[in-house]
Amino acid sequence: MRGSRLALAGLVAFVPFGLAAANVQEKAAVEKHDIVVTATRLETPEKKVGSSVTVITAEELLRTGKTFVFDALETVLGLTPIRNGGPGATASVFVRGAASEHTLFLLDGVELNDPINPARSYDLAHLSLNQVERIEILRGPQGLLYGSDALGGVINIITRIGRGRPRLALASSADTLGTLSADVSVAGSGGKADYSLALLHERTAGISAASSAYAGNVEKDGYRHLGLDARFGFSPRPATRLALTVRGTTARTELDNFGGPGGDDPNSVQDYGTLHVRAHARDLSPSGRWERSLSLSWTGARREHANPFDEAHPQDREQGLYRSGLLKLDWQNNVFLHPSHTLTAGLELEQEKGRSRYVYEGPYGMSESPFPSVRAGSAGLYILDHWEVRDRFFVTAGVRAESHARSGSALTFRVAPAFLIAATGTRLKTSLGTGFKSPSLYQLFAPETSWGPVGNPDLNPERVTGFDAGIEQRLAGGRVVLGLTWFDNRFRDLVDFDFAAGYVNIGRARTKGLEVSAEARPADGVRLSASYTRLTARDLDAGADLLRRPQDKLAAGVEARLFGRFDLAVAAVWVGRRPDLDFSAYPYRTVILGGYVLLDAALTAPLGSGLELFVRAANILDSRYEAVWGYGTLGRTFRTGVRLSL
């Protein structure tokens, strides 16, 4: 706690220096509302949205010098990212305390949640920031808009579209973890076409996945990443656009057997590969009243885990192969009944499949867990109404009917009004909605073992009802924005595992809390921000706090343009105590992980002719902490590199 106070005090003390060094004159403030897409499925000014949304822009991402989406989410209001070790290790995020599998991840509209994962969650360890234009985080149940998996919220990563004359960008960096990174991109537009292509390669020596704070964990676990991004667009006429998006990723992560004492393993590795493809067509009728949008996307994923015999484990080996595919058709229609009234209706068809095979050989023989290829389909119909009154009152409301081939139907709704008082700069917002999650392929079809049943074809969807209400106040001509939101989510029919019956719908949980935010732009080129999340997350059946959810999270940041040319970004986050499980002994026991503070800083300096130097320091205070019991976390790290734009 003392370290957190020192870090935040240091950040606050830095503010006056940043303001003085900016050396700029204030101009008349212009009230700004970012355009968001995820909250309504339409390009909508943020002031007209009743949902809780956070937008991270490309400029903000560039200033931080971060490489992966996971790192960019560390300070976001209402989010708790966790990772089982260093770079490349399994990573997930809790949105308002909801389970990691209750967050739906999208990349340019392509669903990323993996059908072969036991709970259909998404591992964002390998999702890079390369070519990312912005990240939109939508908090609260979103079953109406996006169907299954969006019980806690939606995180949508949107990549950039090529614009203007061709531009070539090169970047290279290195850090004290033994990391080497290089990326190259080219983007532009001409005539009726636009294009954007990028290639990223990174490798690092990493840290020990099993924390080196425990005996026997000394071997570093490295990581390699190669990513390709491509986006093409063609507009045969002004009201028509065709687009193709492709992202491919391959990665290798060195792993340990488990967290805690003796978890080290010298030759356990996981090879990972994904390919996301989306074709999209959008057209506006000659009358300008009907916009049609049709997209077809496919995601394929492959994970292979190999852990052969070694000197430390001469009698144990394991090998696993996991493959999945997801095909989705999305047909959306926007009818502009009036400049202040839009009706949206659509159809989604989805087909997922997966298979796996796991083999373990130990001192008592060999065991095999095959999961034959299975598939399941779903269809969803939704209708959404957007209307406003005199640029003051805005409402989004709708209903969705979903049918899953195995778990039956689900009906969800959402209503999200917002009221703007222009005279005082006040915005009131609230939302009430429901969400659901269809059972995963593994939960439905996992074969019975000698220990008993596993899969259960009679599972029902998990469900949630969520409510939030908030106020946003603008002061000083829009240069200061204060926000306060209260939320309450109640989950039921959660899928849990029973050793006698396999997977069953028996779980209930509740998450509630308060989100407080403040942002100030006292001068051009200067941005100050702070946020606080107070969370209560309870397992109602067990009568205990949900694991790894901190009750308190505080973040603060400063971004400043110094001397008219240097960009500086400083960020601090304090995460409070939270419960976890210690599996190093049987029976396992509940432990309390201590709070910690992370202080980061990044500086970008132009060198002329499109060349710039950047330096980033992460975990400056060298905090020793655990996000997951027994697993390692990064200590103080310095990174430096150059970017060239031609």
Domain boundaries, the chain: 2-645
Instruction: Return the pLDDT at 35.
Output: 84
Distance between CA atoms of 55 and 39, rounded to whole angstroms?
A: 11
Please, which residues have CB within 8 angstroms of residue 295's CB and are 6 or more apart in sequence?
109, 278, 279, 280, 281, 328, 329, 330
Instruction: Return the pLDDT at 33.
Output: 53
By CB neighbour count within 10 A (0-12 exposed, 13-18 middle, 19+ buried), where does 192 fall? middle
Sheet holding 52-57, edge to edge: 52-57, 132-139, 153-159, 103-107, 110-111
**DSSP H stretches of helix in 503-569:** none
Q: Are strands 153-159 and 103-107 parallel, antiparallel or unpaired?
A: parallel
Please, which residues have CB within 8 angstroms of residue 610's CB and are 6 or more apart in sequence?
644, 645, 646
Are the beta carbons of 509 and 491 closer than 8 angstroms?
yes
Region 481-492: mean pLDDT is: 98
By CB neighbour count within 10 A (0-12 exposed, 13-18 middle, 19+ buried), where does 165 fall? exposed
Distance between CA atoms of 433 and 120, rounded to whole angstroms?
A: 22
Are the beta carbons of 193 and 216 closer than 8 angstroms?
no
Distance between CA atoms of 276 and 271, rounded to whole angstroms?
A: 17
Coil/strand/helix, residue 121: coil
Instruction: Return the pLDDT at 285.
Output: 95
Distance between CA atoms of 569 and 600, rounded to whole angstroms?
A: 8
Among 222, 224, 220, CA closest to 182: 224
Percent of the chain residues past pLDDT 70, beyond the cut: 95
Please, which residues have CB within 8 angstroms of residue 574's CB and are 6 or more apart in sequence?
4, 7, 8, 552, 553, 554, 555, 595, 596, 597
Region 89-97: mean pLDDT is: 97
The third-level CATH classification (topology) of the domain covering 2-645 is Maltoporin; Chain A (2.40.170)
The encoded tokens of residue 410 equal 């689900």
Residue 24 has pLDDT above 80, yes or no: no
Q: Which of 180-189, 364-373, 554-563 has the lowest mean pLDDT?
A: 364-373
Residue 21 has pLDDT above 70, yes or no: no
The residue whose two tokens read 């909605």 is 433
What tens digit of pLDDT does each residue of 155-174 get? 999 999 999 999 999 999 99
Among 177, 266, 252, 256, CA closest to 210: 256
- Looking at beta carbons, which pairs linking 27-31 to residues 24 or more positions away fall under 8 Å? 27/524, 28/477, 29/476, 29/477, 29/478, 29/479, 29/521, 30/478, 31/425, 31/474, 31/477, 31/478
Instruction: Return the pLDDT at 450.
Output: 78
Q: H/E element holding 127?
A: none
Coil/strand/helix, residue 7: helix
Distance between CA atoms of 286 and 281, rounded to whole angstroms?
A: 16
| pTM, two decimal places | 0.93
Cα 600 to the center of its chain, rounded Å: 20
What tens digit of pLDDT does each residue of 231-259 get? 999 999 999 999 999 999 999 999 999 99
DSSP string, 435-462: EEEPPPHHHHHPPPBTTB----TTPPPE
More confident residue, 367 or 485: 485
Instruction: Return the pLDDT at 219.
Output: 94
Are the beta carbons of 291 and 281 closer than 8 angstroms?
no
Instruction: Return the pLDDT at 288.
Output: 93
The residue whose two tokens read 């939960």 is 443
Residue 23 has pLDDT above 60, yes or no: no
Instruction: Return the pLDDT at 338.
Output: 94
Distance between CA atoms of 146 and 142, rounded to whole angstroms?
A: 6
Instruction: Return the pLDDT at 10.
Output: 42
Instruction: Return the pLDDT at 30.
Output: 37
**DSSP state, 100?**
G
Are the beta carbons of 387 and 336 closer than 8 angstroms?
no
By CB neighbour count within 10 A (0-12 exposed, 13-18 middle, 19+ buried), where does 213 fall? middle
- 70 φ/ψ angles, rounded to the nearest 5 degrees: -50, -45
Region 126-145: mean pLDDT is: 95
Among 163, 159, 169, 102, CA closest to 136: 159
The CA R_g of the chain, rounded to the nearest whole Å, is 24
Instruction: Return the pLDDT at 19.
Output: 36
Helix, strand, coil share (%) of the chain residues, nearest 5: 10, 60, 30
The encoded tokens of residue 27 equal 């101009």
Distance between CA atoms of 467 and 487, rounded to whole angstroms?
A: 6
Residue 1 has pLDDT above 90, yes or no: no
Q: H/E element holding 146?
A: helix 143-146
In sequence order, what E strands does 176-267 have?
180-190, 193-207, 221-237, 240-255
Distance between CA atoms of 223 and 269, rounded to whole angstroms?
A: 10
Distance between CA atoms of 635 and 622, rounded to whole angstroms?
A: 5
pLDDT band for 586, please (50, 70, 90 cuts): confident
The encoded tokens of residue 13 equal 């003390």
What tens digit of pLDDT does each residue of 316-345 get? 999 999 999 999 999 999 999 999 999 999
